[in-house]
Chains A and B, each alone.
Chain A
């Protein structure tokens, strides 16, 4: 089912997740992320897609009482990023994230992009300038903001803000980028921009995206996982999931009979 010569970048193995209130949000999830491919997570609201995505950069560690079980292995170094001995900050330095709602810091455009590097102790002005430019170009925002890098980020439009957040996540050269419904707060044109951007980004890195929009998953992703009630129902190449799924539940969801 999987094309040959695909390299696995990360893989969740028998991954379970419990929220602090005891909710068993993810049950025995096994999903591989292939290198330089886009993997989409689809499924109805509350099925655990976002919970799964947010485990990849240990966001759940910010709130006490959440429990991980099982593994998410990051290759090629075979690090289990859920291991208590692995510092969540180390994980976040390798795997960056773009959120559902554009969330730039109330700082300048420049500082927003440079922040990830500053956190890593980089203060060399020239290097920061170069990196900021590179990241803004990578997020196809450079031409729109190059003359006003010191402007406050919230003066940008929603779509520009989201691309700024992508630039911020890109500036630190992540191995994997997580997108949590990145276009759900944007208009159709901004959505197209972001989708094109993601197709561009996958030449360099691995992408995991949560989306409510099935057409979006079909348009941009290489692999798709359908999740329901905390379980992974089916994972396959996107073409197969959308044309010839092997599970009845997947087909019902795809064809709109359910969800």
Chain B
């Protein structure tokens, strides 16, 4: 039988249609690429600008000197030590509480209006402006509990900020575990806690760690709540060392010490009229960005390593 003319026409129409549809593909890909490139370039320019401005200060002395009235000799020693100690407190408060809350909400809590209420609250907490947390902390930790304008107060405040991030990422990681793996564990006679400990927590670890590090990266750059609770802007001494040479080799006096953190140090320098201090501020900004990128990088690497071992 001869080839039907009608069929050939149809084929051409189909090809035209496919071409038309593929055009939409390219349009979207183009727009997407443009938007992403714009954002990436903006961030890169900002970062390079800071690095170039701050380059004269980017040396070891900058990390080992206290701030000073003379811009040349000023460094960020007290700021990075303060930031580190505050983050340690934040970590040890927000991680156990956040992970435990996530597990409870996902595994144990009965579904109902109460769980929904908590769910909405956690989601809202993640969106509350950080200054509000600062005010809460000022009223609660500083005045009500009398913890003072200390590292402990700052750590607790930032852990409030970090908590919703950890809770949400923990819950999402747990939800990603397939039902059939969970059922397999129950089917051999495991209790809920055994399933949680031996399976849920282990398989969710990649997502949980990511949430923790992203939360920490957010906490390290937070300025407003730390200013609100009264962090010092100029500080030329270090808190007592957490490690001592007498038994039990650990002390907690540092929790009570006054402190400053990197973004506040930067803010302090940028508000000075002398140009020399602006160089310091730029260098500090570059340090903060590098730290944040480094932490995000670690998060990505950890997640990749853990996911590589887990397949369903």
- Residues of A at the B interface (CB closer than 8 Å) are 57, 59, 62, 64, 89, 92-93, 96-97, 99, 101, 103-106, 115-116, 118-120, 152, 154, 165, 168-169, 172
Contact = CB atoms under 8 A, between A and B. Distances in A.
B188 A116 contact: yes
9 contacts: A57-B187, A62-B183, A105-B199, A106-B203, A115-B190, A116-B189, A119-B189, A169-B187, A169-B188
A62 B110 CA distance: 12
B11 interface: no
Task: Determine which residue in A96, A119, A172 has the highest number of CB atoms from chain B within 10 A of its CB, and name it.
Answer: A119
A99 B194 contact: no
Contacts of A59: 183, 186-187
A89 B195 CA distance: 12
Contacts of B184: 99, 103-105, 165, 168
A57 B178 CA distance: 20
A118 B198 CA distance: 10
Interface residues of B, number: 23
Nearest to A63: B179
A148 to B, nearest CB: 15
Interface string B294-312: 0000000000000001111
Given A99-B180, A106-B311, A106-B312, A62 B189 contact: no
A96 B312 CA distance: 21
Contacts, number: 65
Contacts of B180: 99, 101, 103
Given A99-B184, A152-B309, A169-B187, 9 more contacts: A62-B186, A99-B183, A99-B187, A103-B184, A106-B311, A115-B188, A119-B191, A154-B311, A168-B188
A105 B309 contact: no
B198 A96 contact: no
A92 B312 CA distance: 23
Interface of B: 110-111, 178, 180-191, 194, 198-199, 203, 309-312
A105 B185 contact: yes
A48 B110 CA distance: 27
Nearest to B181: A103
Given A93-B189, A99-B180, A119 B194 contact: yes
Contacts of B199: 105
A116 B185 CA distance: 8
A227 B221 CA distance: 64
Given A99-B184, A103-B183, A105-B199, A119 B309 contact: no
B110 A172 contact: no
A101 B189 CA distance: 19
Nearest to B308: A152
A172 B188 contact: yes
Contacts of B189: 89, 92-93, 116, 119-120, 172
B182 to A, nearest CB: 8
B185 A115 contact: yes
A105 B194 contact: no
Contacts of A62: 182-183, 186
A25 to B, nearest CB: 18
A93 B186 CA distance: 10
A147 B311 CA distance: 22
B276 to A, nearest CB: 56
B77 to A, nearest CB: 45
B183 A64 contact: no
Task: Determine which residue in A93, A103, A152 has the highest number of CB atoms from chain B within 10 A of its CB, and name it.
Answer: A103
Contacts of A165: 184
Contacts of A96: 187-188
